[in-house]
Chain A
């Protein structure tokens, strides 16, 4: 079967639009389509939440694609590699230590989160590298170590500051506090990140052949790698600072896109962005309607779905190797 690849983008956009309409209607209170646009609930609560979930989905989806590309490993994901946890520590430091200020018109939380996320990814990257190659095992183990350390630091921050409730719920990953301010906080990171990811997709493609072949294709491998690590950390950090720790988006979405469209980043980046938005929006709508009026945080929904999926991909990868 041959799919016209560029049409896929339109199909995904349409799906996203339909899903957002469904999502606007659903919730603890069902809004009749007739009065939808007069409803305060829509404008004040649901709409910012829907938009935020889509933006976070885009950012986590692209971060996953980038990390998988530069590490040449389809199991890389900001959550599994401990980048999210690192960003979480940064954000919690900003919140807990009262470092929440505005610097040059930008909130300090994502900036601190970014610094810690970058630190985490660089540590994982260095630890996982054995003779210039990163193996799946070392990558995941390094991610576990960094995540565990970050969790401990987070627990310390919670204990010291006594802000158990607010930080803990934020950590679980949730869009329930979504506001338009969050959306404006995210936008610059999203724009810069996705533009860079798309414009550097030819380099990410060349890296599929390995470091040496990429060099002979004119790619400045060291520079591209560093730049892409920064872009992925930046987007993960921004997403974590508004919505907490949400895992597996960057793993699941690119995996399915590759299955249908192959690993060409020119397609992988935009389709994973849209796919991430659809997944996040859909999962969040499920989370807030399934056990209504009780709300399941999105981070919990994703972990419930994502962990088995991760094991499945891991297993398949080892089978394929034999």
Chain B
């Protein structure tokens, strides 16, 4: 089943078109990594699918339904977005923070329901952050807070989870931890995330999309996308591609 279909998408900001005629589909349950140099439109693409930027032209379909027909609240129940940097809310515990993800479901006429709390706790558990449940969010380390930020998005119970550079400001240990958790989560939902680290993306994503200046250079399995020729096209960097003997995934060595 197709979770996300993008057709002839043109979008960007008022004075600047960033995405130029993009078309692709993502099958339900896939973990897709979007890679490409700075300014290639990775973030713009995610923000447009999240409903933060208007689409100038083209169409986005979520599980076959047209994106434009969804209300903001319906969209929030379908797509959740984890920004590159989220600010912790002063005075909130981890549970409070994750409960914010229930906003599209919370009944405005009463306090948070038992179900909302149950879902929030489930999301915290999925991200292996139970030990922090009652802790102050401002006291967490970057890697711990990133898990809370993802749990908050998961509490929205979205069909599609979008993450903007979820690992770029974390140390190696947390990078691997977050990616492993995401790979596990994909069994229940579609994940699209942007990355700078090509090797990490290749190691954990099922499919990669290589963008440059708002256009797709290659889209497919990591070893199809990460070829020396494609890397040169996108980054103007010479690289040698090897296959990691253990993971069987494409792995890059950059040449001087």
Report chain A residues within 8 Å CB of B89. Answer: 208-209, 263
Cβ–Cβ contact B52 & A199, under 8 A: no
The answer to whether B104 has its CB under 8 Å from any CB of chain A is yes
Known A-B contacts A213-B83, A218-B75; A202 and B92 likewise in contact (beta carbons under 8 Å): no
Number of interface residues of B (CB under 8 A): 33
Cβ–Cβ contact B90 & A218, under 8 A: no
**Assembled-state Cα–Cα distance A214/B87 (Å):** 13
Known A-B contacts A202-B106, A218-B103; A258 and B83 likewise in contact (beta carbons under 8 Å): no
Cβ–Cβ contact A217 & B100, under 8 A: yes
Cβ–Cβ contact B112 & A217, under 8 A: no
Nearest chain A CB to B154 CB, angstrom units: 13
Cβ–Cβ contact B103 & A202, under 8 A: yes
Report chain A residues within 8 Å CB of B111. Answer: 6, 266
User: Which of A200, A201, A216 lies in contact with B50, CB distance below 8 A?
Assistant: A216
Report chain A residues within 8 Å CB of B75. Answer: 218
A260 closest partner in B (C-beta): B91
Nearest chain A CB to B189 CB, angstrom units: 16
Within 8 A of A (CB), among B74-130: 74-77, 79-81, 83, 86-87, 89-93, 96, 99-101, 103-104, 106, 108-109, 111-112
Q: Chain B: interface secondary structure?
A: loop
Nearest chain A CB to B109 CB, angstrom units: 6
The answer to whether A113 has its CB under 8 Å from any CB of chain B is no
Nearest chain A CB to B219 CB, angstrom units: 25
**Assembled-state Cα–Cα distance A220/B74 (Å):** 12
Number of interface residues of A (CB under 8 A): 26
Q: Chain A: interface secondary structure?
A: helix
The answer to whether A89 has its CB under 8 Å from any CB of chain B is no
A258 closest partner in B (C-beta): B91
Cβ–Cβ contact B103 & A217, under 8 A: yes
Report chain B residues within 8 Å CB of A220. Answer: 72
**Assembled-state Cα–Cα distance A213/B50 (Å):** 10
Cβ–Cβ contact B52 & A209, under 8 A: no
User: Which of B51, B91, B112 lies in contact with A215, CB distance below 8 A?
Assistant: B51
Cβ–Cβ contact A217 & B156, under 8 A: yes
Q: Please, what's the 1-or-0 string for A240-276, where 1 marks a CB less than 8 Å from any CB in chain B?
A: 0000000000000000001100111010000000000
Report chain B residues within 8 Å CB of A219. Answer: 72, 103
| Top 5 closest pairs, chain A to chain B, by CB | A218-B76, A218-B73, A217-B103, A218-B104, A216-B81
* New A-B pairs, 11, CB < 8 Å, besides A199-B109, A264-B96: A206-B100, A206-B103, A215-B72, A217-B156, A218-B75, A218-B104, A259-B91, A262-B96, A263-B90, A264-B92, A264-B99
Can you give 9 contacting A-B residue pairs, CB < 8 Å? A199-B109, A202-B106, A208-B89, A213-B81, A215-B72, A216-B79, A218-B73, A218-B103, A263-B92
